Amino acid sequence: MASALRRVFGRVIWSRCRVFPLSCSQQRSLTAGRGFLPRPWPLPFLFVTGGGYLGYQHYKRRSQEDDEAPPSLATPTQVALYHSFPTRLLSRAWGRLNGVELPTWLRKPIYSLYIWTFGVNMQEAAVEDLHHYRNLSEFFRRRLKPAARPLCASSCLISPADGRILHFGRVKNSEVEQVKGVTYSLENFLGPQNSRSKNSSLSFRDLLLSCPDNDLFHVVVYLAPGDYHCFHSPTEWKVELRRHFPGTLMSVNPGVARWVKELFCLNERVVLTGQWQHGFFSLTAVGATNVGSIRVYFDQELQTNSPCYSKGSFHDHSYVAVGDQVLKTTNEGGVVLQKGEAVGEFNLGSTIVLLFEAPKDFIFNLQPGQQIRVGEGLGSL
């Protein structure tokens, strides 16, 4: 393909040379196939980007149309077929493509297409010059200006990410709603707890509560491809355990979340659990198609989207046990995070799920489907 393009382009240039003669150096450059014709390798990427744009617009329309419609769940056969797609392999390939350094002349066209497609606000970026980002990965993980995300001082809990509120509310009967009308098991999502055998008579939800006068709440934030891809600490709390669930990497788009029951339990995810001022607290980063890479800044040992894994397995890493080997530990162990502190990042859009214990009079200041940004208040007491 490359040689054919060079021959066609060469004929056009040579025909023009009869009217506008070229210098000797220009002719040598043309003969070598360099100087006038850029390498055609970006063309497949442009086709992929165009396909991604059409798919994104389709999902966007479907999610908007279906917001008020009753959910129609996928059958086990449909889920199995979806699960059989090599999404993990595709995500690893996408990750490698993201790391390929782009020629300087190509960066602005590629990034501008992405900005236009997904509505990225580059005025918030710490570096607005598109030529600064050597590859797609650096562009996706761009940092924001210090004042771009002020923290809400009046709320005890702030949004950990930019995105859309899929669902929020109280956890009932140890079942959590991923979207309205579609639930998943709390125990399947978080995994077994060490104290379960000691209190087998309690439900999984009650097992997490430190005080009978408290309740368990949840909120789900969906990060679209055009959103800021880092996630932050929603409050001051202490992380005691990281639990990594290898799994599939299906899309977490709202349309798919309404279609696949227990989607968040099937996908790869990293669960951080610990304590805040009112008791149990957890932040879970859920992977998705092309988002196999989940990074937690204070945990260098975490490796996601590995080629092989056992279905239903998980890997625990205790921050209490490692002591001085983890940064910012307290005397009692654990990683202390401040409100608004950067915790980690995705390579593309995905989902953050918060599960937390709070007094029963905790009130969410949210609306289903609303757009939210890092630092904005989620609720208050």
Catalytic annotation, residues = 162, 232, 350
Strands (E), 147-248: 157-158, 163-170, 175-179, 182-185, 214-222, 230-232, 237-245
CA neighbor of 44 nearest in space, from 82, 10, 116, 94 = 94
- The percent helix, strand, coil of the chain (3-state, each to 5) is 35, 25, 40
Q: Measured between alpha carbons, how far is 2 from 7 in angstroms, rounded to an integer?
A: 9
Query: Which tokens sit at 249?
Result: 């990497």
CB 362 within 8 A of CB 310: no
Q: Measured between alpha carbons, how far is 169 from 166 in angstroms, rounded to an integer?
A: 11
CA neighbor of 162 nearest in space, from 351, 367, 356, 354 = 351
Q: Are strands 315-318 and 237-245 parallel, antiparallel or unpaired?
A: antiparallel
Q: Measured between alpha carbons, how far is 358 from 279 in angstroms, rounded to an integer?
A: 7
Q: What number of other Cβ atoms are within 10 A of residue 30's Cβ?
A: 19
Q: Measured between alpha carbons, how far is 353 from 152 in angstroms, rounded to an integer?
A: 20
Q: Measured between alpha carbons, how far is 83 from 302 in angstroms, rounded to an integer?
A: 24
CB 142 within 8 A of CB 202: no
Q: What φ, ψ does residue 235 adopt, rounded to 5°?
A: -165, 180
CA neighbor of 128 nearest in space, from 142, 114, 118, 116 = 142
